[in-house]
Amino acid sequence: MNEFLMHREMVFKLLGICMILLAAGGCGLTYSRRLRLRLEQVRELQQLMMLLHGEIQYQCTTLPEAFEACGGQVESVCGMWMTETGRRLNAMEGMGFREIWEEQLLDLQSRTVLNKACVDDLRRLGNQMSFPDRDTQLGALTLYSQRLREQEEQLSRELPAKMKLGAMLGVLAGMFLVILLI
């Protein structure tokens, strides 16, 4: 009987070790996935800004209509965000452009993995887009697109190393926990 209890205890310890290693490895893989998703979302924003620039410059549409038109062309979280922003601006909810923009930014931030710097850049873009002058809007879009390009290049350069590091740190953290608990 005593031998059976020792055997059962050893099996439970091994199962616990495996679960800890799997959970820690999963955390590392989740980190890697979020990095890849951030790069995709930066690219989506780039595409949306190019479409928005074209709508304003060549179609001479108003901002709410341009937001809705551009957001409808990109099927993603960022596209839905832009469509919803345009819809709310068209509805004239008794709020100004900046208030709606801020609320929509909070919504975007909660649904994406974009970092604080990217959201802050979007906030500055909104402040400049609130001016009725088309040239100011186009200049702001050009500047923001340039920043997005720089962020994309940086993320693309760093992505392979950070993904590998995230996965390895997850496994190593799991191994550390196993050693600590044994």
| Whole-angstrom distance, CA of residue 108 vs CA of residue 102 | 10
Return the higher-pLDDT residue of 2 and 95.
95
Judge whether residue 2 has pLDDT over 80.
Answer: no
What average pLDDT does range 150-160 have in this prediction?
91
Per-residue pLDDT tens over the stretch 27-79: 888 988 999 999 999 999 999 999 999 888 888 888 888 888 888 888 889 99
Judge whether residue 149 has pLDDT over 90.
Answer: yes
Long-range contacts of 56-59 (CB under 8 A, 24+ apart): 56/134, 56/137, 56/138, 56/141, 57/134, 57/138
Per-residue pLDDT tens over the stretch 156-179: 999 888 888 888 888 888 888 888
What pLDDT is recorded for position 90? 86
What average pLDDT does range 139-157 have in this prediction?
91
Band the pLDDT of 1: cuts 50, 70, 90. Answer: low
| Least confident residue range of 1-5, 19-23, 40-44, 117-121 | 1-5
Per-residue pLDDT tens over the stretch 9-28: 888 888 988 898 889 888 88
Residue 61 is classified by DSSP as: -
